[in-house]
Amino acid sequence: MGPAEIARPAPLHDIPQLIVSTILLGGIYALIAVGLTLIFGVMRVVNFAHGEFLMLAMYVAFWAFSLLRSDPYLTLVVSLPLFFAAGWLSYRAVMRPVIQASHTVQIFTTVGLSIALQNVALVLWTADARFVRTDYYAAIVRLFGAAFNVAQIVAFAIAVAATAALFAFMRWSYTGKLMRATAQDRDASSLMGIDTDRVYAVTWAVGITCVGVAGVLLAPIYPVYPTAGLQFVLIAYVAVVLGGLGDMAGALIAALLVAAVEVVGSYVLGTSWKEMLYLLVFIGILIVRPAGLFGQRGAEALGT
Amino acid sequence: MTAYAPAAVFFAVAGLAPLVVRDAFLLDSLVLILIWGAAAAAWNIAGGYAGQVSLGHSAFFGLGAYAAALCSTRWGISPWIGMVIGALIAMATGFAIGFLSNRLRGPYFVLATIAFSQVLLIGASRWRGFTAGSEGIPVPFHAGFWTLGIADKRVWVWIVLVLAVLVYLVQVYLERSRRGFQLAAVREDEDAALSLGVPARRLKIAAIAVSAAFTAVCGALWAQYVGFVDPAYVFSVDISIKFSLAAIIGGLGTALGPFLGSVLVTTVETYLRAQFGGIEARFVGIYLILYGCALILMVRFAPQGFVGWIGDRLRRRSVAQATS
C-alpha cells in the first residue's frame, strides 16, 4: 500500500497526468521533509519519530471526523496548536536532556519515542486501517487532460501555503533569525546571548507542527493505521538527504524529485516495486553523494 | 579470571537448566533468550565494539532465516548447510555495506542500514516465485538432527547455547586482543586512530561482516526453531531495534551485557504474548511501548547499561574501601 496507488487513477497513459501527479505528491512530501530537515539543521538530530507524529495527526483527523463529524480541513485549526504543544512537550520531556549527548544516544532516544508512540496507537486504536470518507471523497477535477482527486488538490494547496509560511517565518521573523543563527553555530549564538534551549524547543515544535499539518492533509487520501507514518517518513528521509541534511530549499526540490521518481517508477514498474526503486535511489545517494545534491561534501564524515 | 565468572555462571546455568527443568514454556523461553541474546551480542560486535550503530541488522537475520528455510524446502538441502550459506551471504553483504558506507557516520549510517533492510523486506515479500512472497514459508518438520527437526526443546537449548558461547567468545576476543583495542580506538576517535596508523576502514568492515554472519546464523536457527519465516517479521525494523535494545539495556560494548539484556527483553515479551496473544493481540503492543520507554530512559540515565552500571558501583566501592 503506497502513496501513489490512489494518486493514480486509471486510465493512465499520458504525460500531463504524470507531471501533475508529481507536483501534487511533491507538495505534500515537501512539507514533511521541510520539518525534518529544519530539526536536523538547527538541532543536529535526525528525528526517527517524525513519521509517528504524522500518524498521530492522521488519527486526530480521523477521530475528529468520525466522532465530531468535523471536516479534516477544519481540524487543522485545532491540530496546528495541538501539535505545536505536543512538539514543545516532547522536546521538554524527551529531547532536552540528550541535546548535548552523543549521536548514538540521540538516535536511540528518537527511535524509542517512535516505537512508544507507534504502539500507543496500536494498543489504543488497534491495527485496523481506518478511512476518512468525506462527502467529496470521490470528487474529481479535470485539468490539463488529467483527472485529480479534490482532496489531493486541497492538500497540495494547503501544504504549499504552510511551507511558504515556514520559509517566510525563517527568513523574516526574529525567531527565524535566531534559529538560523543557531543552525550556523550553536556556540557562537549562545555567546551572543541567544537562548539556544528555547530555540531548540521552538525548532522541534515547529518541525512537529509541519508534520502535524501534513498528517491531517493526508488523512482524507490515505488509510490511517499505526505504522502509516513509516512509508511517508522513508520518502521524507530520501528527500532530506538528497537535498542535503539541514538544507530547507534543497529538501523542497528533492521532494519534487522523489515524487517524480515515485510517480514515474510506479507508472513504468507498477506500484509494487516502486518503494524498492526509491529505496535503491536513496542508498545510491548515500553512497555516492551523502551530503546531498547541494550540500557540502564531507558533511557526513564530520558527523555534524 | 574473576571478570568472566558471571558469564561462566550464566552459561552454566543455561546449559544445566534442561537437566532439571521439564516445563516446556520455561525451556522455550530459555531457547528464545539465548537466540535473541546471541543476536544482540552479534549486533554488539558492530554497534557496541566498532561503534557502527545499525538499525538494519534484521537484513542479516532475515537472510539467514531465508537461506536455511529455502535450502530445506526448495532444494532439500540440510538447514545446517543453509545456515552456513546464509552466514556467507550475510558476511558478503556485510562486507559490501561496510565498504560502501564506510564514510557514513552516525545518523547517515543508521539511515543507510534501515533502507537496506527495507529493500530486502520488499524484495522478499514481492518476489513470489522464489520466496513465496509475503505469505512467508512454513518450514516442514523432518525429524532428525541433520534436518534440524528436533522436538526436544532441551536439545535446542544446547544448540543455541553453543552459538551464544561462540558469539560471547568473539566479544571477549575484542576486549582482550590488539585488534579489539584498535577497534575501540576507531570507535572513540577515528581520526586520532587513523593518525596512529590503525587500519580503521578494514577493522570496521571486518566487524560489520562478522556481526552480519553471526546474526544470520541466529536467523537460520530461529527459523528452524519457530518453523515459520515471515518476511514482514524477519526483515522488520522492529527486530533490528530489539537487538540493539537488548545490547543497550545490558551494556553497549560489554560481552555479557547483550545476554542479560535479552533475559529482560525476551521475558517481558514472552510474558505479554502469553497473556494477550490471540484474544487481544493489540495488547501485545504493550511490550513495544515498554521497549520504547526503556530505550529513552536507558540511554539517558544509564548509557553504560546494567553491566556498566554495576561495574561502576563495584569499582566505586572498592575505591571507597581502599581509602577508608
Q: Measure the CA–CA gap between B297 and A116, rounded to whole angstroms.
A: 12
Candidates B43, B295, B297, B301: best to mutate against A (most CBs of A within 10 A) is B295
SS3 state at B55: coil
Which among B103, B237, B286 has the least Cβ separation from residue A300? B103
A30 contacts A255 by C-beta, under 8 angstroms: yes
Residues forming beta bridges with residue A224, ordered by sequence position: A130
- Check pLDDT > 90 for residue A87: yes
Find the helix or strand (DSSP H, E) in which B138 lies: strand B137-138
B251 contacts B307 by C-beta, under 8 angstroms: yes
Q: What is the CATH number of the domain that holds A119?
A: 1.10.3470
User: What confidence score (pLDDT) does residue A14 get?
Assistant: 67
Give percent of chain A above pLDDT 90: 22
User: What confidence score (pLDDT) does residue B131 get?
Assistant: 74
Give B-chain residues touching A290 at CB under 8 angstroms.
Answer: 103-104, 108
Give the domain range for residue A141.
3-302
Q: Do B112 and A98 touch (CB under 8 A)?
A: no
Q: Measure the CA–CA gap between B315 and B92, rounded to whole angstroms.
A: 41
DSSP state at residue B198: -
- Check pLDDT > 90 for residue A207: yes
User: What confidence score (pLDDT) does residue A59 get?
Assistant: 93
User: What confidence score (pLDDT) does residue A13 get?
Assistant: 57
A297 touches chain B (CB under 8 A): no
User: What confidence score (pLDDT) does residue B7 get?
Assistant: 79
A46 touches chain B (CB under 8 A): yes
Closest approach of B194 to chain A, Cα-based (Å): 14
Long-range contacts of A61-67 (CB under 8 A, 24+ apart): A61/A132, A61/A215, A61/A216, A61/A219, A61/A220, A61/A224, A62/A130, A62/A131, A62/A132, A62/A219, A62/A224, A65/A132, A65/A134, A65/A219, A66/A130, A66/A132
Candidates B189, B282, B301: best to mutate against A (most CBs of A within 10 A) is B282
User: What confidence score (pLDDT) does residue B183 get?
Assistant: 86
Q: Measure the CA–CA gap between A254 and B263, rounded to whole angstroms.
A: 44
Which among A103, A273, A287 has the least Cβ separation from residue B107? A103
Where residue B61 falls among pLDDT bands split at 50, 70, 90?
Answer: very high
Give A-chain residues touching B303 at CB under 8 angstroms.
Answer: 101, 105
Closest CA to A203 of A91, A114, A111: A91
Give the domain range for residue B290.
2-323
Report the pLDDT averaged over residues A138-152: 75
Q: Provide the phi-psi class of A144: left if phi over 0, else alpha when psi is between -120 and 50, else beta.
A: left
Which residue matches cell numbers 526448495?
Answer: B74
Q: Which residues contact B130 (CB under 8 A, 6 or more apart)?
A: B70
Q: Measure the CA–CA gap between B305 and B244, rounded to whole angstroms.
A: 12
B188 touches chain A (CB under 8 A): no
Q: Do B110 and A46 touch (CB under 8 A)?
A: yes
A98 touches chain B (CB under 8 A): yes
Closest approach of A170 to chain B, Cα-based (Å): 25
Q: Measure the CA–CA gap between A207 and A83, rounded to whole angstroms.
A: 9
Q: Do A122 and B238 touch (CB under 8 A)?
A: no
Is the pLDDT higher at A140 or at A144? A140
Straight-line distance from the first to the last Cα atom of chain A, in angstroms, rounded to the nearest whole number: 35
Q: What is the pTM of this model?
A: 0.86
Is the pLDDT higher at B7 or at A39? A39
Cell of B285: 503492543
User: What confidence score (pLDDT) does residue A298 get?
Assistant: 46
Where residue B6 falls among pLDDT bands split at 50, 70, 90?
Answer: confident
SS3 state at B146: coil
Query: pLDDT digit string (tens) for B265-283?
Result: 888 888 877 777 666 667 7
Query: pLDDT digit string (tens) for B120-144?
Result: 888 888 777 777 777 777 777 776 7
Where residue B21 falls among pLDDT bands split at 50, 70, 90?
Answer: confident
Number of Cβ within 10 Å of residue A100's Cβ equals 9
B300 touches chain A (CB under 8 A): yes
- Check pLDDT > 90 for residue A85: yes
Chain B stretch 230-259, residues whose beta carbon is closer than 8 A to a beta carbon of chain A: 237-238, 241, 244, 248, 252
Q: Do A116 and B55 touch (CB under 8 A)?
A: no
A154 φ/ψ angles, rounded to the nearest 5 degrees? -60, -45
Query: pLDDT digit string (tens) for A214-243?
Result: 999 888 888 889 888 888 888 888 888 888
Is the pLDDT higher at B139 or at B245? B245
The number of folded domains in chain B is: 1
Between A and B, how many CB-CB pairs are < 8 A?
134
Q: Which residues contact A174 (CB under 8 A, 6 or more apart)?
A: none
Query: pLDDT digit string (tens) for B168-190?
Result: 888 888 888 888 888 888 888 88
Q: What was the ipTM of the complex prediction? A: 0.84
The number of folded domains in chain A is: 1
- Check pLDDT > 60 for residue B54: yes
**B304 to chain A: nearest residue by CA?**
A105
